Structure formats: structure tokens, C-alpha cells
Amino acid sequence: MTLHLTDTHCHIHEALAPVNMSDQMRRLPDPRHSIQDALDAGVDRMICVGTTVEDSVLAVQFAQDQPHVWASIGIHPHEASKYMDNPLALQKFAALATQSQVVAVGECGLDYFYTHSPKGDQERILRFQLELAQKHGLPLIFHVRDAFDDFWPIFDEYQGLRGVIHSFSATEKELAQILKRDVYVGLNGIMTFTKKPAQLDAARAVPLDRLLLETDAPFLTPAPYRGSICEPKHVRVTAEFLANARREPLEQLADATTSNAERLFKLKDN
Ligand SMILES: [Zn+2]
């Protein structure tokens, strides 16, 4: 069966970072090999997602070099404090929005689980990115952890925003809030190993026309491959798991999630 799956959220470009690489990043596979393995598994579209200004530059360069790859530019809520007094870095970041292959802004959002940056800093950097996306008509990739109550009132202040809640792992209550807006739900390997029935109930309840698949590679490797580094090819395992859990034919799930990704991110073959 020929499938056409899309990994709407990965960080494989980080293996190419020249400096400040953590030991984990040093062990990442060559991203060009990851792309080939993904193609062999039927995953033929990938979005590389930035988490800092430098990392976003890298994602854009990588996407411009590689077929099958697009980029999203983002400042992760963990990194917000770093940019509070750095207007030049933010200016450089904003200029990336018009580069070729850039299809989204994010990952951005609020993370109150770790709160690596103070809440006020997170909000300011989130608003900066909401305004950038609005100005350029780009969709957003959101990271929201334990922070939906603060997130939605901010989101609702802006007109015409579209996007995805990436790595969704909350319950049907949070899902209902998403479905009221022009926002998609991104599911990844967490679903294959979660022990929380409420997370799976929510995953089953996502309407097919609002569902996106992702890996968050190199993190969140799906079962039964826990312990190995996650790569875009693993979207297939998550797709198989979800097709089974949602009682949908795999091909239908693949086709729908890929056309959802094409619609949200306006992916054109490159
Ligand atoms: Zn991510």
C-alpha cells in the first residue's frame, strides 16, 4: 500500500547545529538519512520546526536545501526570557517570515509545566509571534502545556488566526475548546504509550478533518520503538496505532491528515 503521510512537526535539522550542541543532539542521525528513511515509510512531507532564532534560521536553510521539507519559525516558551531585551534578535526573527519554504510561525505558546521562563515573558513572546503570523497570514504551531486557561483569552484577542495545538495530550474538555476555533489537533507517539485512558478518548474524538500527525522527532518515539531516537519515519507507527484505535482504514487516515496539512500550511510540492 502506498501511503502519503506528513510529519507536521519535527526537529531533525538540529543535528546540523554548528555550536552549543548537547550530547543528545550530537547523536542525532544525519537528517538527510532520516528523510530517505521517511520516504521509504511513506512519509513524504516534513515540517522542521524552530525553537529559537538561531534554530529557526537553521530550519529555514535546511528546508530550502531539501525537497520534501518545509520550515516553521518559532521561539519556544522555554526560551522567551532570552529575547526580552533583544530587539535585534526579534527583528532578525521577523525577517524570516517572508523566506521561501516558511509555512508557519511556531512552536510558540505557554508552558506552565516547567515554567523555564516567567509567565509574563512567555506571554510577551507569544504575542509577538501571534502578531507576526497575523501580519503575514501564516498559520501557527502551538505548544501549550498546563496553560490552556491563559492561552485561549490571548488567542481570541487576535482576528483570523489559524493553527495547530501540537503534541495534544489533554482530554475531551480541552479538545472542545480547540474545536470551537480554527485550530487543528496534532497527535504524536505519546498516544502509543500513554497510560491515561482520557488522552486516548480525546484522540478518538478528534474529527478526522481536524487531525494532523507529527513526531516531535528526536523526542517521543512511539511504542514499540521506545529507547531509540525518534525520526519522521515513525509517523507511520503512530498512524497505524491511531487508525486501529479510531477504527478507520489506515489509508483514509493518511489521506485525510495529509490533506489537512496541505490545507493548513499550504504545502506545495517542492
Ligand atoms: Zn517540538
pLDDT in tens, 77-105: 999 999 999 999 999 999 999 999 999 99
Look over the chain and give the mean of its residue pLDDT values, rounded to a whole number: 95
How far apart are alpha carbons 250 and 270 in whole angstroms?
25
Mean pLDDT along residues 144-170: 97
Q: How far is the CA of 204 from the centre of ligand 1 (A)?
A: 22
pTM (two decimals): 0.96
Partners of 141 in the β-ladder: 164
pLDDT band at 21 (very low <50, low <70, confident <90, very high): low
| Ligand 1 ion: residues within 5 Å (CB) | 216
Q: Over the range 22-56, which residues count as b (16 or more CB within 10 Å of their CB) and which as e?
A: eeeeeebeebeebbeebbebbbbbbbbbbbbbbbb
Length of the chain equals: 270
Q: Over the range 170-197, which residues count as b (16 or more CB within 10 Å of their CB) and which as e?
A: beeebbebbbeeebbbbbbbbbbeeeee
How crowded is residue 159: how many other Cβ atoms within 10 Å of its Cβ?
6
Q: How far is the CA of 101 from the centre of ligand 1 (A)?
A: 18
List the grid coordinates of 29. 542521525
Q: How far is the CA of 216 from the centre of ligand 1 (A)?
A: 5
Q: How far is the CA of 49 from the centre of ligand 1 (A)?
A: 7
Q: How far is the CA of 153 from the centre of ligand 1 (A)?
A: 23
How far apart are alpha carbons 190 and 215 in whole angstroms?
9
Q: How far is the CA of 74 from the centre of ligand 1 (A)?
A: 10
- For the chain, percent helix, then strand, then coil, each to nearest 5? 50, 15, 35
How far apart are alpha carbons 74 and 241 in whole angstroms?
29
pLDDT higher than 70, residue 24: no
pLDDT higher than 90, residue 216: yes
pLDDT band at 28 (very low <50, low <70, confident <90, very high): confident
The answer to whether residues 175 and 255 touch, using CB atoms and an 8 Å cutoff, is no
The H-or-E segment that residue 120 falls in is helix 119-136
| Residues whose CB is less than 8 angstroms from the CB of residue 169 and which lie 6 or more positions away in sequence, other chains included | 190, 191, 194, 199
pLDDT at site 18? 73
Q: How far is the CA of 142 from the centre of ligand 1 (A)?
A: 9
Omega prior to 18 cis, within 30 of 0: no
pLDDT band at 20 (very low <50, low <70, confident <90, very high): low
